[in-house]
Structures are given as C-alpha cells and as structure tokens.
Chains A and B, each alone.
Chain A
Amino acid sequence: MVESTIIIQIILWGLVIGSIYSLLATGLNVIFGVMKIVNFAHGEIMIMGAYISFWFWSILNLNPYIAIIFSMLSLMMIGIVIERFGFRLIRNTSKLNEIFLSLGLIFIIQNGLGLAATPIRPVKIISPVQGMSLSLGIIDLPYDFMIIFLVAIGIMIVLYGFLFYTKIGKSLRAVSQNRVAAMLVGINASKVDMITFGIGSSLAAVAGSLFGMLNTFDPYTGTIPAIKAFAIIILGGLGSIPGALIGSIAYGVTESLGTFILGGAWRDAIAFALLIVVLIIRPKGLFGEGKV
C-alpha cells in the first residue's frame, strides 16, 4: 500500500499549500471586492511579508509564529502607503493604468528586497517544530502542517467576524456592494479603501510567512504565487470569500497531484492552464457573480 500512502501525503501537502493560497487569494479578493482593482504586485507584498518574518526570526531570534504578527502590522502600514500614494491617485483613470502601476511596484519591491537581502540566496524560515511530526499509523502528519492549517483557518474566522460584526467591516461590505450609495449614507470610501488595502496586504504577509516555512524563497519568488491566487479567485468567483477558500483547497490539491503526475517543471504551467480553462468555460467563476 505504498501508493495510497503517497497519494495521502500529496493530498495533505495540497491542503496545506491550499490554505496558504487561500490567505493570499482572500487578500487579493478583498481588495478587488472593495476597490475593484487587482493588485498585480500582491505576490511581491507576500514575499516582503516573508522577509520581514525571516528577519525578525533570524536577527531577533523571535519565534517565527510570533514574528508573523509583526510582519502583518508592517505590511498593513506599507499597504496603506501604497494605496494612499499610488492607487488612489489613479482612481477613475484608465483600467490599464492599474496594471502599469502594479508593474512599477513589482520592480520597486523586488529590487528593494534584493538590495536589502544582498547577497541573494534562497532562504527559509525554520520553525521550532521543524521536522517533528505526529505519527498516524500509515502516514506522518508534521506539526507545522497542523499549525499552518490552524493559523489559516483562524485568520479566516477573524476576518469573517470583522467583516460581518464590526462597524468598519460593515462599511467595507457596503462600499463593496455599492460605492456611491455607501458614500451617500456617510461612509468615507477613501478611508475604507485604505483599510481594505492594509488588510489585504497583511493577509498576504501571513501567507508569505507561512509559505516561507514550507519553501525556500528569494525576492523573485512572489510573482507565480500571485498569479495562482488570481487563478483561484477566478475559479472561486470574484468577490466571493467562501469561493476563494474552496478554490484554494481545490487548487492546492490539483497542483500537488498534477506536479506528482507530470513532474516539477510543469508546476507553474499547470496554474495557467487551469486559469485559461476556467476563463473560457466559466468566466464568472464557480461561485461568483462578478463581471469579467
């Protein structure tokens, strides 16, 4: 029964990587829902989060899981700055400008990180329970997998509570449903935009920090995961948070199995093939009502 053990391990890996993608995709999705923009530099923001955790861990010897909190706070600030001095200034101009602005951000962040992390080498955050696992008979379940999964679920629950039970969260949803009407009832839409971008970026920071515990990364690692997150929110439906969650898990498992069957060189191409297929068959996504 070696085969089935391997398959279970692959699915397990898919679930864990899927839960990381879900954080990344949800960040992108929240920003899209409220501001109707797609931040192409989301992957670079994620890697910036990973590096901040890495530095807190490697320089200050902080527990990596606690370093994530600092990473989240830093990226929230950076996200707010990017919104205030970047995306807000091109609001209501051509849609293409958002793509171009994000590209500029990619250049700045990638090379800024490159400068800060010279000499560039792939790094990894080593968690305190690295290599330890819970034996469950036929398979071994690493503790890191469980913690990552729980952190991702926990953050999703907190986000859900924030969006549905706090005043700011409700105003976020109001702006996302109808910007003009929300402004008419006295919601400061610009402030909501800033908060949204901050939240989206801090979600990316968590995703990056967790990603950095499972994989090695360098300043250029972020682009591909961001595209995968984009594929996921299209798969799950633009603006739909449960859709993004289910899409991420489904995608993580597909990627894991696909890579096992086709070989590692195909891992990134699988993401795009899936994206293209979904866009052709069902451009609204599996759960969404968004307009393409």
Chain B
Amino acid sequence: MIKLINGFKSNFFKLGLIMLVFIIIFPFILPDQYVLYVLTTIFILSINAMSWNLLASSGQASLGHAAFFGLGAYGSILLANNFSLSPWFTIFLGPLIPAIMGLGVGLLVVRLREWFLAMVTFGFAVIVQTIIANPLSWLTNGWNGLRASSLIVLTPNLRFIVIYFIVLVAMLSVYFIIHKTFNSKFGLAITAIRDNELAANVSGISLIKYKLLVFIVSSYIAGFAGALEVHTISTFISPEIFSPLNSFWPLIFSISGGIGTTFGPILGTFLIRTFWEILREIGGFESMIIIGFILVLIVIFLPKGLLPILKKVINPQRS
C-alpha cells in the first residue's frame, strides 16, 4: 500500500480517488436535472469512446462506430418490445447483434489498412442506416422511429439521480474491463499489431485472430453504450442514430484525450463535451467550427492528446 501511494502513479491515483468521490457525492450537492443529464450523457459517450479507442489501439480506426452504437440500441429495443423482455436483460443481449456484425465487418477489412478500413466502416454505417430505414421499416418503423421502455420507472427527479448512478457504474465497469484488457496478453498483442504488423506476425501473434477479436469486443461495447443510451436518456430511437456525426464524436473524444490510453477517452469526452455544451450557446455552426479547429490543432501539435499534459501537471517530478 505504501508502495502504491508513494509509487509511480501516486498523485494520479490520489487525484483519481478524489474525482471519484466527488462524482459520487455530486448529485446530492447539486441535484440539477440539466447538469445530471449532461454528465450521464458524458458517461455513455465515454463508454462509446473507449470502445472506439480499443479498436483504434489495434490500428483499425473505424469511421462507422455509429453503426455498432445504433445496432446495439435497435437490438435491445426490438428484443424488449417484441418479446416483452426486461430492458435490464436486453441491454446485454441486444449488443450481440453489433458484435456479430462487427465480426462480419472485421472479416471484410482484416486485410485493409487505414483509409480503406475507414471508408468501408463509414460505408457500413450508411448501408445499415438505409437497411434499417427502408426494407426493415415493418420492424423498425422506418424514419418515424420507436419508443423504448425506460430502465427504471420513477418520478423524474429521482429517476435522473438513479440513472446517473446506473450509468456511472456501467462506465466504471467498462473502464475496468478495458484497463485489464490493455494490460493482458490480448492488449499487448493488439498494440504490437498497431505498431508493426509484420513484426507482430513473426513473433507469433495471429493477426487475423486478434484483429477480429478486438472488432467483436469493441462493437459489443459500442452496442452496449447505445442500448444504455436509449433505455436511460432518450427513450426513443430513429435511424438518425447512424448519422456520420455520431461516428465522429468518439473519435474526437479519444484523440483529444489521448489515443491508445485507457483514461484518455474519458478525459477527452469530459473536456470536449462539456466545452461543447458551453459552446452551443454561441450558435451551432460556430461551435462546430471551433470543434473542427480543436481537432486539427490537437492532431498537429498534440498527437498524444491532453493526457500527457495532465500527467505532467500532476506528477512534475516524473517526466
């Protein structure tokens, strides 16, 4: 324990604990519906960003993550509505659909790199949107969308607080799972693939196996985030969920926080989303232009994101 406190990540660890305690007591200090709504959205978007980041850590940058996010949501809603299942059950069952789709897309793009993969995944989201909105409209109600049952039924004020904690627990669990994944053999294998495919391959790492696995896990988690979103915050879904913007957000969050790190996507989501909530006041176009410039500046000047800066501030003696 002493070693842990004085050790490598001491300040970082302490700060993390303080933040966690603050987040837990926060709803009791300021039970404001709007603020809680924003924070809950941030938790869900962090889950999505973490799943994108996990995939990107294997060198596969998806531009169609909205497809997995949306399919998880549609899967969960359709199962809940048509088979009268509890949403508590379908938020875990629904994401199996994007996981299977992720396996399919993974098989398609396993030999492709960078741009080609980005295009195919982007196209996948467009195709999924077309299919959900048109040939499947008998099931999905097309562009008119579907209502989703809420995860819990309570008075609005209490509901916001309870949902806040449910989603917080979900986010922490996903964080913990991804943290474990990164430090496992699996995590080492996928980062080795990202850094040098050939070298990874000759060291005996099966490229196809790991690339497909990471695709499945990432799309499952993205689908879980989507299912969670529609059963807690929006309680409504339409094919709008597959819009390119929804594919781009997790990417922006991950890059600003620090791509390839565990905490980066959460940090990025918190900072960018909060900033965006404030920016929205000045107008839709202006705020998006600023977000665009932030993305460009981060890519050019801070390719490792904001996390290294945070670490430097907290632990000046180490780096």
Contacts and interface: CB of A to CB of B under 8 A. Distances in A.
Contacts of A97: 299, 303
B56 interface: yes
B15 interface: no
Contact of A273 (B118, B127, B285): B127
A99 B285 contact: no
Nearest to B244: A223
B296 A227 contact: no
Grouping DSSP codes into helix (H, G, I), strand (E, B) and loop, the B interface class, with mixed when no group exceeds half, is: helix
Contacts of A283: 111-112, 116
Please classify how large the interface on chain B is, using the bins under 10, 10 to 19, 20 to 34, 35 or more. 35 or more
Given A99-B61, A118-B285, A283-B112, A40 B296 contact: no
Interface of A: 38, 40, 86, 89-90, 93-101, 103-108, 110-112, 114-115, 118, 223-224, 227, 230-231, 234, 265-266, 268-269, 271-273, 275-276, 279-280, 283, 292
B289 A101 contact: no
A210 B4 CA distance: 65
Contacts of B288: 107, 110-111
Contact of B123 (A96, A105, A114, A275): A275
Interface of B: 56, 59, 61, 63, 108, 111-116, 118-120, 122-124, 126-127, 130-131, 133-134, 244, 248, 251-252, 255, 259, 284-286, 288-289, 291-296, 299-300, 303
B133 A292 contact: no
Contacts of A111: 284-286, 288-289, 292
Contacts of A99: 61, 63, 114-115, 118
10 contacts: A90-B300, A101-B299, A101-B300, A104-B292, A107-B292, A111-B284, A272-B123, A275-B119, A276-B120, A283-B112
Contact of B134 (A38, A95, A265, A292): A265
B289 A115 contact: yes
B296 A276 contact: no
B130 A101 contact: no
Contacts of B255: 100
Given A100-B251, A107-B288, A268 B108 contact: no
Most chain B CB within a 10 A radius of its CB, from A111, A230, A231, A234:
A111
Nearest to A87: B300
